[in-house]
Amino acid sequence: MKRKAILLTGILVTLMLVAGCSTRKNTAGTRFYHALTTRYNVYFNGNEAYKAGLQAQQQGNKDNYMEMLPLYPIGNKETTGIGTSDYERAIEKAQKAIRQHSIKRRPIRKPGRAYTDEYKKWLARREFNPFIHRAWLLLGKAQYQKGDFPEAASTFSYIVRLYDGQTNITSEALIWLSRCYSALGWQYDAEDALNRVNNDSLPLSLAVPYASATGNYLLGSQRYKEAIPHLEKTAKNEKNKQQKARCYYLLGQTYQLLQQPEQAYQSYSKVIRLNPPYELALSARIRQTEVMPTANSRKITGKLLRLSKDEKNEEYLDQIYYALGNVYLAGKDTAQALSAYHKGIEKNTRNGVEKGILQLTLGNLYWQQARYAEAQKAYAEAIGLIDKTHREYADITTRSEILDELVPHTNTIQLQDSLQHLAGMPEAERMAVIENIIAQVIAREEAERKAAEEAERETNRLQMREEAESQLPATSIISKPGQGNTTTPQTTQPAIGGKQDWYFYNPQLVEQGKAEFQRLWGRRKLEDNWRRKNKTVVALDDFEEIDYSESEDIAPKDSIPNSQENEATESSVSPEKDPKKGTTDSIANDTHRPEYYLAQIPLTEEAMQASNALLSEALYGAGMVFKDRMHDFRRAETMFERLIRQFPDFAQADEAYYQLFLTELAIEYYEKKGSSAEKYKAELIARFPESRYAKTLADPDFAENAVHGKQREDSLYVRAYEHFQMGDTATVRAAEHLSSEIYPLGQHRPKFMFLEAVTRLQGGETERFLATLKELVQQYPQNEITDLAAHILKGVQEGRLLARDSHTFGSIWQRRSAELAEAGNLLGDSSSSTAILPPDSAFSTERNVPFLFILAYEEGKVNENMLLFEVARYNFSTFLVKNFDLAFAHERGIGMLQIRPFNNYDETQQYFRRLYANPEMAARLSGMRAILISEANYAQLIKQYSFDDYDAFYRTHFSSIPEPELKGYTLDEPLLNLPTEEEERQREENLPTEEDDPENGVIFGD
């Protein structure tokens, strides 16, 4: 009997457990079962993976102590990839917990249950598993620590909506949401999230996380004084010792920034007392020297110099010399500061961001001192070493681009001035200068030789140390500087397959390579004929392009020719066959011989003329950069005045006068002083009365046009273009003539010329059409329409025929990438092997192939970060199992958010319908084009067709296809079990159904 009772009990328990496994029932038993299973099974494993990822991230984090630290290690870009596999496992487990144990169905109420306010709130919940919110939070935290900030923000936003009314949960989600927004740079949204946290009912356990998130937001908003109390609270209550030291270091930096040296010194002292890793402790000691009173500058520099001589600090000499330079700079000793910064660069061994900060500081100093050549080199190095998110990255990139334009001109000016000065010296003085230069060259080479030998000895010493360490036992007692002895297993087998091992997986090394390339070759594009100022400009008379490969006098030789070419060259100019020539060449290239320098000095009339030509061009070029790019009008004035004074016969003298006139106007406007504008205006009109610049200034309506001319020219061009599209030739030509008379220097002048030229082609005046295009290319080599004109001229050279009836120049949606769409319209070549097929022939109608869904828009008209966030949020809240890849692409002025993968057209169509069925998303995406396209068709589109081409093809071949039914979702299981119409009606009317007691099964607190 007893055995029978036990058996029946076991069967009953088994049946209850089986019944409890279903999330379609909501009873005390099911809630207990799923909460228990979530906590001690799936969630436990995911949380352990999350903690392992955090530990790996903290251990692998590398801070740059020369800059403000981020409050959280994830703020360092290089730290983002650490612990990824652990975080992915945590995400997988959290999703699994939600998918298998989420309970959304309402329970059945016991008869007689009172319908209280508390009970109503419980009924309004959308999730009834009392522990599943922990899985949701784990999901968002893992996404955040992985660096997927938009995904994490979407998760926390959804948690706030899902658990509306449950303050403990929503407060924690809002705190993390603020951290996500801060990481994305969305400070307004971060503040809004924090403001939504209810401080009155904030649990004690969230007080420190709230203070931390608030401090992080305030730091990101540069509200440092307000951040102080929140950082103090965060540092004081931080449990992790290493993170606690980081917090106090950041606090010290903040006090230092606010010029509160005593508090900064105390904060750095707290860092040292925590016995952190040696580099952090050393950096804190270095920072302490920076906040000591300047009256003790000798004591400070002495302390830093002692630190530099300590063998333990050999790896950190860059930081020490950086601090030393800052001390000198604070004392107004710029020369010593520059020397210290250079010493820091010289002693740098890591070639990382620390060196980049030193180069950046040097560049800024040189920029302030107008030492532009040195600034250019420093900025070029810095760009490859600092991160693109650095606060000064955009500024120094712009400065570097400006200096790339300016420095060749200033170098030419300096060189030609020096050479002409030497040419004017008596021979004896000239030879004395040359001998002095030779002595300097020999001394420099000797110093470089000694430095190379020292570097080689240092390399050998390091190699010997590594070999000695590699022979140690597998397990040894190793003591790091500044730390106690610890027994650490040492494995001599190198790690293989790490992501950072390969050069191209290390973004910092790639950026350094780019910077070195730019330093040597400038910022030119990868393109043919890069040496030419205008790659497609043709010769003036016969439209024949210069072939650099045919002229040995023009085409430069490869610096490393192949062996056959080398042998042929050596045999043709062998010193044995022509010993006199060989000896002469050797002397002329020897920097230790006076002949090398004499050959560069313009001692003949022809050489002086060539030098003057270089000098005048450089003066004009430098003046234009100073005026237009740097807005340094005083230096521009100096360049233009010297140009017209020293070279009155300069080929572009009229333009130089005009630019000088504009420069004087700018000086008058910005400095509120009188200028010589009228003087140079009168000289321009007197010397060059027929110049277009003189005619512009002589126009009595010049002042009026200067104020309103742009708007009027814009209106005139729009009118001309509209009539061009309608084929109204007479109006187009009249507008072009008006443009030449009133706006000869207008922004749209080359476009007027182009439209008028096309009307000539349509009228059969081919020669005039080509002549106008050639004039356009010569006068406006940098204008956007010039590429189009040059392609047409090049096509004519290659024998292609002109199509007279083509005059469609549409919007960016009509642009093609192959040879430019307009050039393709104007050039007809039936024999061309690369003729573009009609879209119907090029695009495929295949449906059962991988597809893309694209949201396309005109570049510059959409906030891409916000678009990415909204689409990621929508995907996350609509699909749980299906993961979509989101990526941006840009083509022909069109931005695209690409969403993939889709297995076929039907899946893409389903996604499209569901996306635009959401009123909120449809409103946010208004103005964008939704494009459903196979991957193969996308390749064709990018290769040679316009978006309108594909749109016409799609409407013909896909719009007529019946849309798939959505009775069952084939893309993915929806995240929410959508309520029925009756349930929605009851929720809106707040009507009860038969439901269970909320207390039953709630055994896990929030």
913-936 pLDDT tens trace: 888 888 888 888 888 888 898 988
Residue 105's pLDDT band, with cuts at 50, 70 and 90, is low
Does residue 818 have a pLDDT over 80?
no
Among the residue ranges 98-112, 382-396, 904-918, the one predicted with the least confidence is: 98-112
Measure the CA angle with vertex 859, ends 856 and 864; round to 5°.
Answer: 75
Q: What was the pLDDT predicted at 377?
A: 92
Tokens of 928: 């964008």
| Distance from C-alpha of 445 to C-alpha of 447, rounded to nearest angstrom | 5
Matching residue, tokens 């931390």? 212
pLDDT average, residue stretch 299-314: 82
**Highest mean predicted confidence (pLDDT) among 372-376, 386-390, 465-469, 762-766:** 372-376
| Distance from C-alpha of 386 to C-alpha of 76, rounded to nearest angstrom | 12
Peptide linkage before 901 cis (omega within 30 of 0): yes
Does residue 349 have a pLDDT over 90?
no
Matching residue, tokens 């929720």? 987
pLDDT average, residue stretch 723-733: 82
**560 Cβ contact partners less than 8 Å away, ≥ 6 residues apart:** none
Tokens of 239: 């449990």
Q: Is 846 left (phi over 0), alpha (psi -120 to 50) or beta?
A: beta
pLDDT average, residue stretch 747-760: 85
pLDDT average, residue stretch 574-598: 65
| Distance from C-alpha of 758 to C-alpha of 735, rounded to nearest angstrom | 14
| Strand partners of residue 890 | 895
Which tens digit of pLDDT belongs to each residue from 139-197? 999 999 998 888 888 889 888 888 887 888 888 999 999 999 999 888 888 998 899 88
Does residue 595 have a pLDDT over 90?
no
Q: What are phi and psi for residue 897, nearest 5 degrees?
A: -100, 115
Q: What was the pLDDT predicted at 473?
A: 55
Among the residue ranges 276-285, 518-527, 848-857, the one predicted with the least confidence is: 518-527
Q: Is 882 left (phi over 0), alpha (psi -120 to 50) or beta?
A: beta
Q: What percent of the chain has pLDDT over 90?
A: 18
Residue 940's pLDDT band, with cuts at 50, 70 and 90, is confident
Which tens digit of pLDDT belongs to each residue from 390-420? 778 888 899 999 999 999 999 999 999 999 9
Which tens digit of pLDDT belongs to each residue from 34-90? 778 777 888 888 889 999 999 998 888 888 888 889 999 988 888 888 888 999 999
How many of the other CB atoms lie within 10 Å of CB of 72?
21
| Distance from C-alpha of 630 to C-alpha of 623, rounded to nearest angstrom | 10
Q: What was the pLDDT predicted at 413?
A: 94
Does residue 798 have a pLDDT over 90?
no
Q: What was the pLDDT predicted at 111?
A: 65
Among the residue ranges 201-215, 506-520, 618-632, the one predicted with the least confidence is: 506-520
Q: What was the pLDDT predicted at 623?
A: 94
Does residue 385 have a pLDDT over 50?
yes
| Strand partners of residue 858 | 894
Closest CA to 337 of 290, 288, 385: 290
Delineate the domains of the chain, giving CATH numbers in brackets.
Answer: 27-103+122-147+976-1006 (no CATH), 620-698 (no CATH), 704-828 (1.25.40), 839-957 (3.30.70)
Q: What was the pLDDT predicted at 634?
A: 92
Q: What was the pLDDT predicted at 810?
A: 47
Sign of CA dihedral 50, 55, 61, 67: positive
How many of the other CB atoms lie within 10 Å of CB of 10?
10
Q: What was the pLDDT predicted at 559?
A: 39
Among the residue ranges 94-98, 241-245, 296-300, 913-917, the one predicted with the least confidence is: 296-300
Q: How many helices (H) and strands (E) does the chain have?
A: 43, 8
| Strand partners of residue 857 | 895
Inter-residue contact 875 to 884 (CB < 8 Å): yes
Residue 563's pLDDT band, with cuts at 50, 70 and 90, is very low
3-class SS of residue 841: helix
Residue 757's pLDDT band, with cuts at 50, 70 and 90, is confident
Which tens digit of pLDDT belongs to each residue from 526-551? 554 444 444 444 443 444 443 433 43
Q: Is 472 left (phi over 0), alpha (psi -120 to 50) or beta?
A: beta
Mean pLDDT of the residues in the chain: 76
